[in-house]
A and B are shown apart, each in its own frame.
Chain A
Amino acid sequence: MLGRGGAGFPAGTKWGLMPAGKYPRYLVVNGDESEPGTYKDRLLMERDPHQLVEGCLIAAYAAGLSQVFLYIRGEMPLAHERVAVALNDAYAAGYVGKNILGTNFSVDIVLHWGAGAYVVGEETALIESLEGKRGEPRLKPPFFPAAIGLYGQPTIVNNVETLSNLPWLLVNGAQAFTAIGTATSPGTRMVAVSGHVVRPGVYEIVNGTTTFRDLLYGDEFCQGIRDGNELKAFVPGGGSAPWFTPEQLDLPFEGKLVGAAGSMLGSGAIMVMDHTTDIPTAALTLTRFYAAESCGQCTPCREGGTWLERVLQRVVDGRGTHADLAQMMEIGESICPGAFPHAASERLGLAATPFPYKMTTICFVGPSAYAPVHSALTLFRDEFEAKIVERRHIPVSIEAVGAH
Chain B
Amino acid sequence: MGRGRAPAGGGRRRGPQSRLNEANVILAKEIIGRYPKARSATIPLLHLSQQQNGYVTNDAIAHVAELVGATSAEVLGTATFYEMFKFEPVGKYLVNICGTMSCQLLGADDLMHHAEARLGVRAGGTTADGMFTLEHAECQAACTEAPNMQVNYRHCHRMTTAAFDQLIDDLAAGRLDGEIPPHGTLARIRQQIPADKAAGVAPPDAPVEPAWMLAPEATS
**Is B123 interfacial (CB 8 A cutoff)?**
no
Number of interface residues of B (CB under 8 A): 73
A-B contact count (CB 8 A): 245
Q: Once the chains are docked, how many angstroms separate the CA of A240 from the CA of B155?
A: 24
Rounded to whole Å, the gap between the CB of A350 and the closest CB of chain B is 23
Task: Kindly state whether residue A112 has any CB partner on chain B within 8 Å.
Answer: yes
Given A23-B208, A130-B40, A134-B77, decide whether A36 and B193 contact each other with a Cβ distance below 8 A: no
A244 CB within 8 Å of chain B:
no
- State in angstroms the CA–CA spacing of A245 and B40 once bound together: 45
For chain A, give the interface size range: 35 or more
B1-47 residues at the A interface, CB under 8 angstroms: 34-37, 39-44, 46-47
User: Cα distance A132–B45 when bound, in Å?
Assistant: 10
With an 8 A cutoff between CB atoms, is B101 at the interface? yes
Interface residues as binary, A257-278 with B (CB distance below 8 Å gives 1, 0 otherwise) = 0000000000001010100010
* A269 B143 Cβ-Cβ under 8 A: yes
In the complex, what residues of B have CB within 8 A of residue A132's CB? 37, 39-43, 68, 70, 78
A169-226 interface (Cβ within 8 A of B)? 192-196, 200-202
Contact of B143 among A66, A77, A271 (CB under 8 A): A271
Q: Is A87 an interface residue when CB atoms closer than 8 A count as contact?
A: yes
Mask, A6-31, CB within 8 Å of B = 1, is: 00000000000000011110100000
Nearest chain-A residue to B75 (Cβ)? A132
- Chain B residues positioned under 8 Å from A87 (CB to CB): 191
Contact of A200 among B78, B85, B101, B146 (CB under 8 A): B146
Which of B155, B193, B213 has a CB less than 8 Å from the CB of A97? B193
Given A37-B101, A131-B40, A151-B36: A80 in contact with B139 (beta carbons within 8 A): no
Take A34-B139, A97-B198, A194-B144 as given contacts and tell me if A81 and B188 are in contact as well, using a CB distance cutoff of 8 Å.
yes
- Whether A361 sits at the interface, judged by CB under 8 Å, is no
Residues of B within 8 A of A48 (CB): none
Q: Please, how many angstroms separate the alpha-carbon atoms of A240 and B220 in the complex?
A: 46
Check A77–B83 contact: CB distance below 8 A.
no
Q: Which of A37, A101, A136 contacts B139 (CB 8 A)?
A: A37
In chain A, positions 25-45 with a C-beta closer than 8 Å to chain B are 26, 33-39, 41-42
State A136–B102 Cα separation when bound (angstroms): 27
B137-161 at interface with A (beta carbon < 8 Å): 138-146, 150, 152-155
Beta-carbon contact of A292 and B47 below 8 Å: no
Answer yes or no: B186 CB below 8 A from chain A CBs: yes
- In the assembled complex, B189 has its CB within 8 A of some CB on chain A: yes
Q: In whole angstroms, how far apart are the Cα atoms of A308 and B49 in the complex?
A: 37
Known A39-B141, A131-B37; judge A77-B186 contact (CB<8 A): yes
Q: Please choose the segment from B126-134, B169-177, B199-207 that sits at the chain A interface, where 4 or more of its residues have CB less than 8 A away.
A: B199-207
Residue in B closest to A200 when the chains form the complex, CB atoms: B144
Q: How far is the CB of A306 from chain B (nearest CB, A)?
A: 15
- A39-B141, A103-B212, A115-B83 given as contacts; is B155 within 8 A of A78 (CB)? yes
Residue pair B202, A67 in contact (C-beta under 8 Å): yes
Assuming A34-B141, A200-B144, is B100 touching A75 (CB within 8 A)?
A: no
**Minimum C-beta distance from A154 to chain B (A):** 10
Once the chains bind, are B82 and A74 in contact (CB under 8 Å)? yes
- In the assembled complex, the CB of B207 is this many whole angstroms from the nearest CB of chain A, namely 5
Report if A229 contacts B (CB, 8 A): no
B36 touches A67 (CB 8 A): yes
In the assembled complex, B210 has its CB within 8 A of some CB on chain A:
yes
CB-CB nearest in chain A for B64: A132
Q: Which of A78, A152, A277, A286 contacts B100 (CB 8 A)?
A: A286
Residue of B nearest to A201 (CB): B144
A135 touches B212 (CB 8 A): no
Q: Flag whether A91 is at the interface (Cβ < 8 A).
A: yes
Give bound CA distance, A192 to B43, whole Å: 30
A87 to B146, CA, bound (A): 31
A94 at the interface (CB under 8 A from B): yes
Q: Does B194 contact A (CB under 8 A)?
A: yes
Does A327 sit at the interface, judged by CB under 8 A? no
B31 to chain A: closest CB distance in Å? 9
B residues with a Cβ closer than 8 A to A are 34-37, 39-44, 46-47, 68, 70, 74, 77-78, 81-85, 99-102, 104-106, 138-146, 150, 152-155, 186-194, 196-204, 206-213, 215, 217, 219-220
22 A-B pairs whose Cβ atoms sit less than 8 Å apart in the complex: A24-B207, A24-B210, A34-B139, A35-B139, A36-B138, A37-B139, A38-B143, A64-B209, A74-B82, A76-B141, A80-B187, A88-B192, A105-B210, A108-B193, A131-B39, A132-B68, A133-B78, A151-B204, A194-B146, A195-B101, A271-B143, A273-B105
Closest 8 CB pairs of A and B: A116-B83, A132-B42, A66-B202, A115-B82, A132-B39, A194-B102, A151-B204, A194-B143
A interface with B by C-beta (< 8 Å):
21-24, 26, 33-39, 41-42, 61, 64-67, 73-78, 80-81, 84-85, 87-88, 91-92, 94, 97-98, 100-101, 103-108, 110-118, 129-136, 150-153, 192-196, 200-202, 235, 239, 269, 271, 273, 277, 281-282, 285-286, 288-289, 292-293, 295
